[in-house]
Structure 1
Amino acid sequence: MKREDVKEFNGENGKPAYIIFKGKVYDVTESRLWKNGKHMGRHKAGGDMTDFISMAPHDEKVLDKVKYVCDIEEDIPKEDPKEKWRNLYRRYHPHPIFIHFPMGVLYFGVFMLFLFLIFKISEFERTAYYALLFGGTSVFPAVITGLMSWYINYDRTLTEIFKNKIIYSSFLILLVINAVVARVLSGNQEEGNLWFYIYAISYLLAIPVMTFVAYNGGRITWPD
């Protein structure tokens, strides 16, 4: 069976659902994880799942539970220009490295802002502002490496999860920029100033937005 033939078995309209892994064809029709030929709402039967399964939290032993069909009759192999980047990504994992720093720093910054609002100690607010500067700046490499991962590992597949991450990551960047600008325009006045309240509200809103982005990232690694 050739790759083009496997595409016909996509699990739709009563057809069997086949996938390819390392040159072998597997029948996942009876698997509850591949209902109607779809897995996690973003992978479709009929294609090569080698890269996706290799990067999944589970290993290839999950295929022991499904039926082996045959080996693929390979055409002349074509070099994938993204394979070199995939190997680099698998080795260094830049997105997971960059994403944790802004999360930790911004959570800490909001905690300090809460302490300031309660105790009115200016050092708490100053610490919160510095955390916003450092944490907000580090959001950019986190988003950039996330887009790299989306392109290299997922071929820019635009599912609900990735739409959420892209939209709310953009919203997070706007909130961070808005908070910094408002803090500067407040003239270092810690309270009683419209710009200060805009700064505080933008800062506080950034946390649930960032948490939602992280939650969707978790859905990629540990699917429902």
Structure 2
Amino acid sequence: MKRDEVKEFNGENGKPAYIIYKNKVYDVTNSKLWKNGKHANRHSAGEELTDFISMAPHTEEVLQRYNIKFVAELEDDIEKVEDKKDKFRVLYTKLHPHPIFIHYPMGIFYFGYFMLLLHLITRNVYFEKASYYALVCAFLSIFPAVLSGILSWWLNYEATFTKIFKYKIVFSILLSLISFLTLIIRSSHPDLSSTSGIIFYIYFFLYTLIIPTLTFIAYNGGKITWPS
């Protein structure tokens, strides 16, 4: 089967959905993950997907599922034009910095908020201090997480503005602003742990707001890795 013929099977308007992987053509029409020839709102049927499948969280074994059929060998495998990003993609695949860096703000923010809750329950100032130190570390760890995420978005997804990526970008900015404001309030009131005035409750509210914001970012990251 020729490459130009595969392009006709894009899954649109009732057509079957074919993809190319390692010079083989597969029919993914019956897969729930390929509705209308689209996968995860990023990949389209009728295209060469060898590089993308190689970098995906799943392996090529997904092509052996009962609802995916081998169609034919690709006949006219043309020489592929080298993508300047390929070397960076290979390096990124080996190091995968974003999945590493994203765990730091997630874990530290959750830990810090837990310490703040313990302070409210016990009135122990050391719990509040621990939550403050966690806030500092978590805020600083946002930047490598976001920068590595942007790198991944550019390398692996061609900086495509899907709804999921829009959510992640907007809420990452929001997380940075909220945590920065929370940090400024706490740093400018070093005796905050021994008071219960309006400033403390503003601080507590902002710290609380960080948690659902962070969780929403993580949830959308999960949707990229495990699309429904």
Note whether the superposition's TM-score is higher than 0.5.
Answer: yes
Are 2:137 and 1:148 aligned?
no
Please point out which of 119, 135, 141 is paired with 1:138: 141
Matched, 1:206 2:210: yes
CA deviations on 1:55-110 (whole Å, 9 max, x unpaired) are 33332122233132331523343111111111111111111111111111111100
Amino-acid identity (%)? 54
1:95 equivalent in alignment to 2:98: yes
TM norm structure 1: 0.91
User: Structure 1 76/49 Cα, relative in aligned 2: closer, same or farther at 3 Å?
Assistant: closer
What TM-score do the two structures reach when normalised by structure 2? Answer: 0.89
Q: Does residue 182 of structure 2 align to residue 179 of structure 1?
A: yes
The yes-or-no answer on 1:85 pairing with 2:91 is: no
The number of equivalent residue pairs is: 224
Runs of 4+ in 1 over 6 A off after TM superposition: none
Q: Distance in 2 between matches of 1:151 and 1:2?
A: 30
Equivalent residue letter for 1:46: G
User: Is contact 2:42-2:157 (8 Å) kept?
Assistant: no
8 Å Cα contact 1:132-1:176 kept in structure 2: yes
Could you tell me which runs of 5 or more consecutive residues in structure 1 were left unpaired when the two chains were aligned. none
Change (3 A) 1:185 1:3: farther
Q: Aligned-residue CA RMSD in angstroms?
A: 1.9
Quote how far apart the aligned CAs of 1:221 are. Answer: 1.8
Q: Bigger CA drift: 210-219 or 83-92?
A: 210-219
Corresponding residue to 2:120 among 94, 117, 130: 117
2:220 maps to 1:216: yes
Paired position in structure 2 for 1:197: 201
- Written as runs of structure 1 = structure 2, the 5 A alignment for 1:32-51 is 32-51=32-51
Aligned-partner Cα distance in 2 for 1:153–1:72: 27
CA distance in 1, matches of 2:114, 2:58: 36
Unaligned runs of 5+ in 2: none
Alignment match, 1:25 = 25
SS class of match (1:166): helix
